[in-house]
Amino acid sequence: MQNKSMLKTDNLVMQFGGLTAVSGLSLDVKEGQIAGLIGPNGAGKTTAFNMITGVYSPTKGHVYFNNEDITPYKPNKITNLGVARTFQNIRLFSSMSVLENVIVAKHLRMGVNIFESIIMSPSYKRKDKQAYDEAYQLLKEVQLEDVAHELATSLPYGKQRRLEIARALATNPKLLLLDEPAAGMNPQESMELMHFIKEIRDKFKLTILMIEHHMKVVMGICENITVLDHGVTIAVGSPKEIQSNPKVIEAYLGVDIDA
Ligand SMILES: Nc1ncnc2c1ncn2[C@@H]1O[C@H](COP(=O)(O)OP(=O)(O)OP(=O)(O)O)[C@@H](O)[C@H]1O
């Protein structure tokens, strides 16, 4: 049942002055798929995410989400359509509790504005209660409710990553972009993360595109992988096809592919 495209990029190019960071990227991520975007450092992966989420306006090419051309849209419009992301470095609100981190994202989705929160209007109180309930329910679904009132940054690293993903889920996405979710994790945490990603894909009916350097994670959960090298797509295929592709092996030469 993986026929419909959830995310398509058509010949995306991103130039920074004389540097072509991404050169003609054409992705096709099917609904319900977990897809991977890999490549050595500086290959253009995060730049691709920035173009998909509207942070960068591509030099050339188009981004289609659910068959809609979202290339000209601003990041908040793209989020509202159902695209969420996490970042390479964890970006939690450090002075807030686990629950508050998720409530903030819920407020954003509900369109709570500062004025109504200052005057504590009835509409704000209603939305705030709804945000609280939904955030708490979400924490239950990702098994973080037992730490709901702890300071977000006091959690162990693996749980902070899980919280960051939960916060992205608070915007009710259809497509989730994960930028190096396994970065800095020990083998046990990486294994748990793999199970967690599959679990949320099924539970929340998500399509997932992830950037990841950790090859065991990529090969373990991605159904389709695109490999970038110096901005150029050098391979697309299943984990098995990618692992035996000579161009990929060459691009990673000097890098321990099983590391
Ligand atoms: N805003 C920018 N201005 C100028 N150059 C940039 C900008 N963003 C990225 N680059 C350059 O574009 C290239 C691709 O960078 P990018 O961060 O997309 O790579 P990456 O594949 O995500 O790398 P890593 O795996 O190390 O995170 C690099 O040469 C980088 O220096």
Each residue of 137-155: pLDDT tens digit?
A: 999 999 999 999 999 999 9
Contact 177, 86 (CB under 8 A): yes
pTM: 0.90
Q: What ranges in the chain are assigned the alpha helix state H?
A: 45-52, 75-81, 98-110, 114-118, 122-141, 157-169, 187-203, 215-221, 239-243, 246-251
Question: In the CATH scheme, what is the homologous superfamily, with its name and number, of domain 91-172?
Answer: P-loop containing nucleotide triphosphate hydrolases (3.40.50.300)
Nearest-CA residue for ligand 1 atom 23 is 42
Residue with tokens 């899980």: 162
17 Cα nearest atom in ligand 1? 4
Q: Return the residue matching tokens 């993903």.
A: 165
83-85 β-sheet, strand order? 83-85, 175-179, 207-211, 34-38, 224-229, 232-237
From 1.10.760.10, 1.10.10.10, 3.40.50.300, 2.40.50.60, which CATH number describes the 1-82+174-204+213-258 domain?
3.40.50.300
Distance in Å, CA 233 to ligand 1 centroid: 15
Question: How many angstroms separate the alpha carbon of residue 135 from the centre of ligand 1?
Answer: 34
Task: Determine contact, residues 40/255, Cβ cutoff 8 Å.
Answer: yes
- Among 47, 209, 210, residue to substitute to test ligand 1 (most atoms within 8 Å of Cβ): 47
pLDDT one-digit tens code per residue, 198-248? 999 999 999 999 999 999 999 999 999 999 999 999 999 999 999 999 999
> For strand 68-69 and strand 60-65, is the pairing parallel, antiparallel, or unpaired?
antiparallel
CB 148 within 8 A of CB 172: no
What pLDDT score was predicted for residue 105? 86
Residue nearest to atom 7 of ligand 1 (CA): 16
Query: In this structure, which residue's CA is closest to atom 14 in ligand 1?
Result: 44
At 168, is the pLDDT very low, low, confident or very high (cuts 50, 70, 90)?
Answer: very high
- Sketch the domain layout of the chain as residue ranges: 1-82+174-204+213-258, 91-172
- Atom 11 of ligand 1 has which residue's CA nearest to it? 21
The ipTM, to two decimals, is 0.96
